Amino acid sequence: MKCNTGHWPNRSEIDASIIYADYYAVFIKFYSFVRLNVKTKIYMRNIFLSSLLTGIFYLPLFSGGLVQPHSPAPAEKDYVGYLFVYFLGNRVPQEAIHFAVSRDGFNYYALNGNQPALDSKEICSTGGVRDPHILRCEDGKGFYMVVTDMTSSKGWDSNRAMVLLKSGDLVNWTSSVVNIQQKYPGQEDLKRVWAPQTIYDHEAGKYLIYWSMKHGNGTDIIYYSYANEDFTDLETAPKQFFFPQNGKSCIDGDIVFKDSLYYMFYKTEGHGDGIKLATTQSLTSGKWNEKEGYKQLTQDAVEGSSVFKMNNTNTYILMYDVYRRGEFHFTKSEDLENFTRLEEEIFMNFRPRHGSIIPITRWELKRITDKWGKPEELGELPNNPALPGFHADPQIMYSRQTGKYYIYSTTCGQPGWSGWYFTVYSSDDLKEWKYENVMLDLKSDQVSWANGNAWAPTIEEKLIDGKYRYFFYFSGNSPENNRKQIGVATAGHPLGPFTDLGHPVITESPTGRGQQIDPDVFTDPVSGKTYLYWGNGYMAGAELNDDMVSLKKETLKILTPEGGTLQDYAYREGAHVFYRNGLYYFTWSVDDTGSPNYHVAYGTSRSPLGTIEVAKEPVILIQAPEKEIYGTGHHSVIQVPGTDEWYIVYHRINKHFLERSKGPGYHREVCIDRMEFNTDGTIQRIIPIN
């Protein structure tokens, strides 16, 4: 389809993508199962994905076998800031875990008035902790932190333990002390256990903890052990991890995994006191490629290096503690070998020592600022997107049965709109949304007539014979004719379980063109009758029979608003109908879903199947490039029960996927904004917000 920026591929052009999705799932199972070195596995993955996206990889022997999806880990596009975890100094009150936050990665503000986030006396054996390292779990659903169990007031050779901590929300933490000397034999001359860190070992499928130890008059050596499954203890005896060619002391290891290589930055303790780099393809192989020279861009002694990636960029930041000057320096690189100074100035309203930084989502940022206070300098926190990950075509419902709101949506992010399941989120207040489950899976036994392209759902709650029933209408691809059709599944609860009718209810276009997608269900509060609307390229509507799963065919009407352009109200898809103060509002999306110009227009009618009068100012929601908001469309509308408060729930293209090569049409995210009306009933232009 054409738009003012060129040709955006239409969803009907990519039906074969559902086949590729099958092959990709089979490959992922193979990839996860086979024990190969990391570089080989990643090479295989890249070759497969390249072939898949160019459409030349064909495996007719394989099909299906998809893994049931779970609660999604954060997508990088959902990161809106950074959490800095650090300690303050060498006095006992300063040897504690502190939190600070940043929106841009350059300006950091302490939480809790720069007081500890956790009480050292409650989590360790010495009364103080240092060198906190935080890691998001590999599945994205939790956090691990490890710290040195030590107070420097007792001497630099006084500690024998580390502390392992874990949290599901960054607020509530549990801890376990691991005393190396007490746990393992042969550690009688152990003098210190310093700066532990954690990384996921892709070959072993476990979390590897590495730290430096010194025995007797020997050198500081970096050791490793694997954490147990609960992350409460070490399950293997310490082994030497890094073997520097010069055999001299090294501490403060910090590892980043990038492009099949592990990059370890470490301090040359007592001989240069700077940051060096070594790389390996296999963490426990003992084979390291030591790079020449130092990586810090200062002549002063440094330690406590840590690397983090700037959100949605290819830039890495190497930061380190210039400990004799009481400063923290940041440098940048895209290859993790060549570093330059930042053009941006770094600001911190505190003076940190050795720490680490991770990216955080808006939900995580809100959670920790709710707990420890939001620094005034941080400004307003973002409100959108409302849901994490990639979702589109959101349908919102308020359930009288549960007193909650629910959002059902197209699962986005798969190439070519090839998603095959629907998820549901719930909320008590339209602000905080909880992932519930996958409520309908088109590749499972739930649905017999469709195998993919799970698009644009709609749902209606009905009280029938004293019991609540839910009717979920959706688009799916029929393998029999490779066409989009509309089906319905039913349940007794908003979360299911849902049972599909067993066959589609709409299979043909009443106009002879367009796709049978984008259903919308509406119950008229005046008559109590229920109607179904649908269509891509046209808008059709018909009354539903009392069974809610079949149409009164004699009522079917073509309702497509005539005229308009891509700049105002030319109908494309995504019809949605609601009622207010005697008027039936018909809203729809204009242009292609992959276009930044994709937007919402509306008109009104005096009946659910009446002629639509396009509004004089029909556009009510459109892109705001100055805010980096694009492609705002395919929506639903909700009225807060008992009020005249209305909200529009819609999707937009994530700003990092605007280029056509990145697939803007299937990298969309769900947002919620207030909808307001003028005194004459017209809808005010909605200003989309971040």
Task: Mark residue 328 as left, alpha or beta (left: phi above 0; alpha: psi -120 to 50; beta: remaining).
Answer: beta
Q: Is 259 a catalytic residue?
A: no
Instruction: Please state the length of the chain.
Output: 690
Distances (CA, A) of 45 to 24, 162, 204, 314: 10, 37, 18, 20
Active-site hit among 201, 303, 393, 543: 393
DSSP letter (8 states) at residue 115 = -
The structure tokens listed for 623 are: 């892109």
Closest CA to 620 of 663, 568, 660: 568
Q: What's the burial of 401, exposed, middle or buried (CB within 10 Å: 0-12/13-18/19+)?
A: middle
The structure tokens listed for 683 are: 């809808």
Q: Are 267 and 245 in contact (CB under 8 A)?
A: no
What 3-state DSSP class applies to 420?
A: coil
For residue 309, report the phi and psi dihedrals to the nearest 5 degrees: -100, 135
The DSSP element (H or E) to which 30 belongs, if any, is helix 17-33
Q: How far apart are CA 198 and CA 204, in angstroms?
A: 14
Closest CA to 540 of 548, 551, 529: 551
The DSSP element (H or E) to which 48 belongs, if any, is helix 38-54
Q: Is 335 a catalytic residue?
A: no
List beta partners, residue 465: none
Active-site hit among 303, 500, 573, 669: 573
What 3-state DSSP class applies to 33?
A: helix
Q: How far apart are CA 408 and CA 605, in angstroms?
A: 27
CA 330 to centroid of chain Cα atoms: 27
DSSP of 644-685: S-EEEEEEEE-GGG-SGGG-GGG-EEEEEEEE-B-TTSPBPP
Q: What does DSSP say about strands 455-464 and 434-441: parallel, antiparallel, or unpaired? A: unpaired
Q: How far apart are CA 177 and CA 233, in angstroms?
A: 8
Nearest-Å Rg of the Cα atoms of the chain is 29
Q: How far apart are CA 370 and CA 378, in angstroms?
A: 13
Q: What does DSSP say about strands 520-523 and 499-500: parallel, antiparallel, or unpaired? A: unpaired
The structure tokens listed for 353 are: 């020592």
Q: Which residues contact 288 (CB under 8 A, 6 or more apart)?
A: 242, 243, 264, 278, 279, 280
Position of tokens 């029933």? 469
Q: Which residues are catalytic?
A: 393, 573
